[in-house]
Chains A and B, each alone.
Chain A
Amino acid sequence: MKTLRDIRLLFWRKMMETLRNPIYIVVSMLTPVVYLLLFSPLLKKLTIPGYTPSDVLNLFVPGLLVIVAFLSGLFVGYTMIDEVKTGVIERFRVTPVSRFALLAGRVLRDLVNTLVIVIFFTLVAIPFGFHVHILGYLVLLILVALLLITTSSFGNALGLILKDEDRLSPIVQGINLPIILLSGMLLPMVLAPTWLQVIAHFNPAYYAVEAGRLLVAGHIFQAQVGEAFLFMVPLAVFVVFWATRAFNNALS
């Protein structure tokens, strides 16, 4: 199929960039390790409902995996702006390539990069005391992928629409912090007052973090897991649709 062929070609264009400059991946891999070394010891002294000091990494690691996916997607807008400014995007838009493929090739590359980072981090966390249920973890990877597809499509479309770093920065920086704090990644939202918990329910990362904690413990058929999918699947579909339109706005 033509679209699949286009996606493959455009995926490899971006993948070659990564392979030529793996420093980005290496740095991204180091970030979670820094968290493990410098932040997780702080958690050992905390009393958090449902967790003992020995399995506190099961509280912390799923949240970190989700946030890694969230952030690696959100910031792709900067590269997009580079490609807008150097005319690359315009050149592709004059070819008969499917507009969806223009988006999907990029998102797929981001997905592969992120899964590599996430899996690497999981493997590093195990000797530190992270207990993982394999089947639950695989379901978590699907959630992580959904979140990455959403944020990478969003970040790409934002770059395409704003075309300028100075306009992109306030938006991604503005989204970044509240999403992280309200995801319950650093401290679970159980500890939060009701009004904060209510706001958190508008945060896709919150659902993924909550579900992620259950999933790594092997609780797959739980209401929170279903809730996460119910929230994330339509959101991903909507954002991908919207981002494809951004590539097509020439003839809309």
Chain B
Amino acid sequence: MSEFIVTTKNLKKYFSSRSGTVKAVDGVNLAVRQGEIFGFLGPNGAGKTTTLRMLATLMTPTSGTINIAGFDVAKQPDEVRRHIGYVGQNGGSDRPATGVENLILQGRLYGMSHAEANERARELVKLLQLNDFADRIVYTYSGGQRRRLDVAIGIMHRPDVLFLDEPTVGLDPQNRANLWDEITKLKSQGVTIFLTTHYMEEADILSDRLTIIDEGKIVDEGTPEALKKEVGGDCIAIGVENQQDVGQKLKIAIKKEGYSTKITEESELIKIYVKDGALVVGRLMKLLDQQKVKLRTITITEPSLDDVFLQKTGYSLRDKDLDEGGQS
């Protein structure tokens, strides 16, 4: 088997609607390495879920090919199904059954004997810490408990690749952090994880490599660090007294120093983009002293994935999500 466990070539999914053709996925090439956490980041409606549904044998592509674990999804869907686990946005646990019953049935549907399935279920109960509620009916679960069960069901048959569609949507921060731990734990067990998300923080923390998608097309790809480095350096934002009067002069003075790549001015802030914030901040303070400008606030931020998105698409991921609202 090659180093890539999931590959797609020129994958497309078009939907025809009354207002014309919607290019939900428009020529996507992906290559997921064995054993990594692969993040698929984009705003709602970017085509993440549609791509994932095609990978998981739930939807037929308009054109293009998908290969998973050496099998062609169009030609050998059942072979692909044996090698993948899938946790959809709505989970998939059966509400009127207990957690353990859900797990055992899932195992048996993949051909395990009852004893095998039972043993594996107990193993997962331990691994994902479901002990407190595994024998209760799923109707009684909290959102976080149900998510953990959903993930356990997804890996019941020891898949090579686990697809997670927006795994932490609707979870509170604590449950989100817990689930991140669980996902990292799964990776250490050797499962390749393909995860879609519209949370930049989530993509940043979890992904070994990530791909950014917008309007059906891939915008950028790489490790989170490399992507952020592309944007270039840090941003020092300063707020000074009497900015209206001194702002213009200050900007020219900073520019003369030669360490800034870009300077922008907002109503209350001057933003100075530099290679390395920590090295420059001392010289900047000295300059402010010389100019007799009184500093009110100063923050140094590293670039975020949102800055990457902004640079590539011209708009912020946060804004786009607010505009579209709802779920993709």
Contacts and interface: CB of A to CB of B under 8 A. Distances in A.
Interface string B44-70: 000000000000111110000000000
A90 interface: yes
A251 B60 contact: yes
A86 B93 contact: yes
A81 to B, nearest CB: 12
A141 to B, nearest CB: 29
Interface string B202-232: 0000000000000000000000000000000
Nearest to A16: B97
B201 interface: no
A9 B57 contact: no
Given A20-B96, A250-B57, A9 B105 contact: yes
A219 interface: no
Interface in A75-92: 82-83, 85-88, 90-92
A199 interface: no
Given A13-B97, A95-B106, A96-B81, A250 B58 contact: yes
Contacts of A252: 60
Chain A interface size band reads 20 to 34
A172 B74 CA distance: 35
A20 B140 CA distance: 15
Given A21-B96, A86-B92, A88-B94, A13 B105 contact: yes
Contacts of A82: 95
Contacts of A16: 96-97, 101
Given A6-B109, A86-B91, A250-B57, A94 B86 contact: yes
B88 interface: yes
Nearest to A6: B109
Per DSSP, chain A at the interface is helix
Contacts, number: 73
B90 A86 contact: yes
Nearest to A84: B90
Contacts of A96: 78, 81-82, 109-110
A166 interface: no
B84 A94 contact: yes
Nearest to A2: B111
Given A9-B105, A86-B92, A96-B82, A91 B153 contact: yes
B89 interface: yes
Contacts of A21: 96
A13 B93 CA distance: 12
Interface residues of B, number: 32
A93 interface: yes
A97 B90 contact: no
A87 B89 contact: yes
Nearest to B82: A96
A86 B95 contact: yes
Given A9-B108, A21-B96, A97-B109, A87 B60 contact: no
A88 B77 CA distance: 19
A102 B157 CA distance: 19
A85 B89 CA distance: 10
A45 B154 CA distance: 63
A221 B118 CA distance: 52
Nearest to A83: B94
A16 B96 CA distance: 9
B110 A95 contact: yes
A88 B138 CA distance: 12
A17 B96 contact: yes
Contacts of B81: 94-96
A2 to B, nearest CB: 8
B90 A85 contact: yes
Interface in A6-45: 6, 9, 13, 16-17, 20-21
Nearest to A20: B96
A88 B109 contact: no
A90 B97 contact: no
A97 B92 CA distance: 15
A92 B56 contact: no
A90 B58 contact: yes
Given A9-B105, A87-B93, A97-B109, 9 more contacts: A6-B109, A20-B96, A83-B94, A88-B92, A90-B92, A91-B92, A94-B58, A94-B84, A252-B60
Interface of A: 6, 9, 13, 16-17, 20-21, 82-83, 85-88, 90-97, 250-252
7 contacts: A13-B97, A16-B96, A20-B137, A87-B89, A90-B90, A92-B109, A95-B106
Pairs of residues from A and B, 3 with the lowest C-beta to C-beta distance, nearest first: A91-B92, A87-B90, A87-B92
